[in-house]
Chains A and B, each alone.
Chain A
Amino acid sequence: MYSCSDLKKGLKLLIDGDPHVIVQFDFSKPGKGQALYRCKLRNMITGALFDRTYRSGESFEPASLEERDMQYLYQDETGYVFMDQKSYEQVVLSEETLGDDKYFLIDNMEVDILMYGDTGIGITLPNFVNLRVTQSDPWVKGDTAAGNNKPATVETGYTLQVPSFVEEGTLIQIDTRTGEYATRVKE
């Protein structure tokens, strides 16, 4: 069982018999008052989104679902297609199910697909992916402060903040759990 202190974005819970994933999480508490754990949950079967607030002392059943090693193949009009490397069985995940994770998929990447029966309902990405910067404003001469940042777009269309020394064409590592820039990749 999970307690309130385990709640965080990405945690999967069984609620009323269905697996749910926490898609947004915040802790709030009046200074002297009771803690509230505010979650936006997605029903992983129906896709329904809803808000729920929990209080300290409540407990939760983990959603234990089968995860299968799969390879990402391609995207087409049906969605994002993955293949089980042992059985060659294919599974399609919708754009909605993937959310921002769709930006971190690279052809032939190995991922864990969360299964509910024969249906793929979620994905676990590697913690870091390498993606190439396709658009970013040039470095401004004289800008030497190490902490300066600017927006950049990578090959999958994802936009994030990067240090000002990152140029177009640079391969960068992104933390898929936070969506943030981690480091440049030496090539």
Chain B
Amino acid sequence: MEPNWQLARKRPVLEKRARIVQAIRAFFIDQDFLEIETPQRIPANAPEFHIDAVPSGDWFLQTSPELAMKRLLAAGYGNIFQISHCWRDGERGSRHLPEYSMLEWYRPGCDYHRLMDDCEALLEALTDSNKLVYQDNEIDLSRPWPRLSVHQAFSLYADCTVEESLAAGRFDEVISLQIEPQLPADRPTLLTEYPASQASLARLKPENPTVAERFELYIAGMELANAFSELVDCKEQSERFSSEERLRRAAGKAGYPAATRFLNELPNMPQAAGIALGIDRLVMLLSGCNSIDEVIAFTPELL
């Protein structure tokens, strides 16, 4: 049998990927972030209606390291980051893998605006310039990147208002099918101020509690990162978890055990901002790949 060429030919992209991951580490370590590792098999994830965890014995594989990282913040850790694998059941497409690599970082004493600056600085560090070419399209990365609120995006690109889409249960669909494809192709977009109902772990804006301090980073129409000012109100977090849990059960989805230790320790957590960024998609963007399959050695289908 000849060597597996489908694997061998991925080497140049995997070399690039390794350099990107090393540069990400250097970016955070240079700023005195502590790199941490938390278990990937856990008793409970944060319950979210649209995210399904993969069971592993009596426990689950993590859908995100969020709860463990926040417990570290509550224990007094400062700036922390982690690169880890996350699992989300049933997610497979040209930009989705059921097992993928996530970068998460948290900054105590900051809000989500600080994370927007971080995203700008990280991309600048990874590209060594203020532009990027993806699929023959030049993207201007010079700072500051445009900020666009969800309300503005709906009025520019959608056939309905945010409120109408929420009432009809079409919010995500409008974002995916109408707004994402129309976001400017030549600039990153920071899509901000999500409706309160669309941010289970985010703090609401004090001056306008109908929206959450949440943003998503889009580059080349691709959702790269999701960030918020973290909710540190234990009572409110507990109520939101219960409401997501009720939605899950009402839809016939698996229920999850309560994240009791996280909720108990949450009152000790300082005000903080946290963000999750998909490493596979970042590698796609920086290496010009059109499919997530091209930036990992093994897709599930090749195992």
Contact = CB atoms under 8 A, between A and B. Distances in A.
A30 B223 contact: yes
A35 B90 contact: yes
Interface stretch (B3-11, B29-37, B107-115, B126-134): B3-11
A168 B199 CA distance: 57
Interface residues of A, number: 26
Interface string A128-162: 00000000000000000111110000000000010
Contact of A34 (B5, B95, B172): B172
B154 to A, nearest CB: 14
Contacts of A28: 93, 95-96, 176
A163 B9 contact: yes
Given A30-B223, A184-B2, A53 B93 contact: no
Interface string A39-60: 0000000000000010101000
Contacts of A184: 2
A31 B226 contact: yes
A26 interface: yes
Given A27-B93, A27-B96, A53-B177, A33 B171 contact: yes
A30 B172 contact: yes
Nearest to B13: A147
Interface string A11-32: 0000000000000001111111
A52 to B, nearest CB: 12
Contacts of B50: 29, 32-35
Contact of A146 (B8, B173, B176, B278): B8
Contacts of B3: 146
A146 B96 CA distance: 28
A103 interface: no
B176 A27 contact: no
A33 B9 contact: no
Nearest to B177: A53
Contacts of A35: 50, 90-91
Given A27-B93, A27-B96, A28-B95, A36 B11 contact: no
Contact of A57 (B8, B173, B251): B251
Contacts of B199: 32
B1 interface: yes
Given A29-B96, A32-B198, A147 B10 contact: yes
A32 B48 contact: yes
Interface in B166-204: 171-173, 175-177, 198-200
Nearest to B201: A32
Contacts of A55: 173
A32 B173 contact: no
- The list of the 10 closest CB pairs from A to B, nearest first, reads A27-B93, A33-B172, A147-B8, A147-B9, A146-B8, A34-B172, A147-B11, A163-B5, A26-B93, A31-B226
Interface of B: 1-3, 5-12, 48, 50-51, 90-96, 171-173, 175-177, 198-200, 216, 223, 226, 251, 276, 278
21 contacts: A26-B94, A27-B92, A28-B96, A28-B176, A29-B91, A29-B96, A29-B172, A29-B176, A30-B176, A31-B276, A31-B278, A32-B48, A32-B198, A33-B172, A35-B50, A36-B173, A145-B11, A147-B8, A147-B9, A163-B5, A183-B2
Given A147-B5, A147-B7, A148-B9, 4 more contacts: A29-B50, A30-B172, A145-B11, A181-B5
